[in-house]
Amino acid sequence: MLSKRMQELEEVSKELLKVLLSDWADTLLRRSLDKRSRMDDKLLASQAAAAQLVRELTTAEETVAETLLAQESELQRCLRRLQDLEEELLRAREAGASLQASSSALRRELEELREESRRLEEDTEREEDAVPSATYVTQLYYKISRIDWDYEAEPAQIKGIHYGPDIAQPIDIDGNRHSRCFVSDYLWSMVPTAW
């Protein structure tokens, strides 16, 4: 824009020279001076407008720079917060996975215990159904063997009274000195075979 004005100024100067050299110098000189005056006014107005634009541009640049710095600071703060949240999320996931694994292990153990309890209940029910009561078994042994056992005897001592067909006979056998086979055979020999 400035070079265009300079060209116009050169053209005016050339015109002035022509006028000075020609007959119509006075008229042409006035026209040229008017034209130059207008051009000078335009040049000053353009310079003032350019200076104003430069000031506004500088102000706008400062405003944009301040905004950019504030935005950058906010972005950094948000990035730090995001990183903190990601770390917290990672810790929470690890804790959750640990709790889930622990919970799964506890659930499996609970299921195993429930299954074992159920089996034990079933076994107990079967045993109750299949095995007669201890009183019944004791009475049955007595009816068959007719032996009244001394339950207060030492564990290795076999004591009791056999009520045979003719006479009551005491039993006192040392289990440490005799084999189980001997003790069993001896006791079965006392049981009457006649029904």
What are the pLDDT tens digits along the chain (195 aa)?
A: 667 777 887 888 887 677 666 655 567 667 777 888 888 888 888 899 999 999 999 999 999 999 999 999 999 999 999 999 999 999 988 888 888 888 888 888 888 988 998 888 887 777 666 656 667 777 777 787 888 888 888 888 989 888 877 788 888 888 888 888 898 888 888 877 776
Q: Domain ends where: 38, 56, 81?
A: 81
The most distant pair of C-alpha atoms in the chain lies apart, rounded to whole Å, by 186
Distances (CA, A) of 17 to 37, 39, 135: 17, 18, 152
Domain of 170, in residue numbers: 133-190
Distance CA 7, CA 2 (A): 9
N-to-C CA span, the chain: 145
Residue 169 lies in a domain: yes
Please tell me whether residues 77 and 137 are part of one structural domain. no
Q: Domain ends where: 81, 102, 123?
A: 81
Give the per-residue pLDDT at 132: 63
Residue 115 lies in a domain: no
CB–CB of 28/15 below 8 Å? yes
Please tell me whether residues 142 and 77 are part of one structural domain. no
Looking at residue 178, the DSSP 8-state letter turns out to be: S
Residue 63 lies in a domain: yes
Give the per-residue pLDDT at 90: 92
CATH number at residue 160: 3.30.160.570
Please tell me whether residues 76 and 138 are part of one structural domain. no
Instruction: Write down the pTM of the prediction.
Output: 0.35
By three-state DSSP, how is residue 119 classified?
A: helix
Please tell me whether residues 76 and 13 are part of one structural domain. yes
What residue type is assigned to position 154 of the chain? E
Domain count, the chain: 2
Residue 11 lies in a domain: yes
Distance CA 16, CA 30 (A): 10
Residue 45 lies in a domain: yes
Residue 12 lies in a domain: yes
List the beta bridge partners of residue 172: 159
Please tell me whether residues 6 and 71 are part of one structural domain. yes
Residue 124 lies in a domain: no
Residue 123 lies in a domain: no
